[in-house]
Amino acid sequence: MTVCVIGEALIDLVHQSAEPDGADHYLAHPGGSPFNVAIGLARLGQHSRLLARLSEDAFGRQLRAHAERNGVDLSLAVAAAEPSSLAVVGLDAEKNARYDFYRTGTADWQWTAAELARIPNDTGWVHTGSLASWTDPGAEAIERRLAELTRTTVVSYDPNIRPALLDDHDATVARIERLVGLSRVVKASAEDLAWLYPDRDLVDALRRWQALGPAVVVVTDGSRGARAIAADGEFLAVAGRPVRVADTVGAGDAFMAGLINALARAGLVDGDRRPSAEQLRPAVEEAVLVAALTVARAGANPPTAAELAAARTEPAPDEPGTN
């Protein structure tokens, strides 16, 4: 199956330890949630096509080269005149990533209907999410295209909320719920749901999204693992995989790639299929493992199919971790 990923491809400027002279240093890593998902899918063996607006500046060339090295199909990508978006990344004491974004006038948000029409109507799976799905003016165009595609295509969605970038809470909730309603597979973090629905507990929030129509709704919760609700309303919980954490950059994106890969490989959401909790469990377990392998090494560096296969038979380390 071809999975087409729509969304931002930006540069993560990751803070390094200060040098003896006291100067701060940053390393420029390719990033952006949809970009990371496309890389993760390609490494896991899926035909991954990235529909991103790639700048023609130096950072855009870096993003393009990284995607091509990892086997991502860029035949749909847009050559954008605007500069690349930047995210400055710092790590807290627990090695959790914190982001500051520089996105005014940059390439990732200027989508047009003509650019999005590049997605063939017979594409098997389309994934979107993160900043591109709720940053205007492009978010509106993405939503319209998904509404056209959902009739024939499996759509997956991960809102990847960044509260500092969102001014209107009610409008954001309304937009995200519309996208959830267009999707067959939805993934969010516990932090996403807490911001969206501060007066609801996690179970209630999952039920709300499940009622909007998706066949699969999954929430990740760091080292506690993941929970999901199947189409019949049954819940399942998958414990976190113990791992020595390097950092959490790209953890949720790796989980999303792992989930899409597992669901697509098993055909669990093809056509009108709506998997039960029992059928869904192996896919969520595999996604947890993919995320764990990613946080065990620095940066958004998801595993290959061979590394995933090897990890299934390896004993887990005894230190707590995150996914």
As a whole number, mean pLDDT of residues 227-239 equals 93
Mean pLDDT, residues 180-197 taken together: 97
Q: Is-contact 39 72, C-beta < 8 A?
A: yes
In order of 52, 97, 203, 238, 301, the CA distances from 249 in angstroms are 20, 6, 26, 21, 9
| Per-residue pLDDT, 320 | 40
* Helix axes of 169-182 and 138-149: crossing angle, nearest 10 degrees: 20
Which pLDDT belongs to residue 67? 98
Look up the CATH architecture of domain 2-311.
3-Layer(aba) Sandwich (3.40)
Mark residue 225 as left, alpha or beta (left: phi above 0; alpha: psi -120 to 50; beta: remaining). Answer: left
**Tens-place pLDDT, residues 278-319:** 999 999 999 999 999 999 998 889 999 999 999 988 765 444
Q: State the average pLDDT over residues 17-24.
A: 70
The pLDDT value recorded for residue 323 is 38
Among 56-60, 152-156, 205-209, 299-303, the least confident range: 299-303
Confidence band (pLDDT; 50, 70, 90) for 321? Answer: very low
Mean pLDDT score of the chain:
92
> What are the residue boundaries of the structural domains of the chain, listed by start?
2-311
Please report which confidence band the pLDDT of residue 92 belongs to, taking 50, 70 and 90 as the band edges: confident
Q: Stretch 152-165: mean pLDDT, rounded?
A: 96
Structure confidence at residue 315 (pLDDT): 60
Report the distance separating Cα 143 and Cα 92, nearest Å.
34
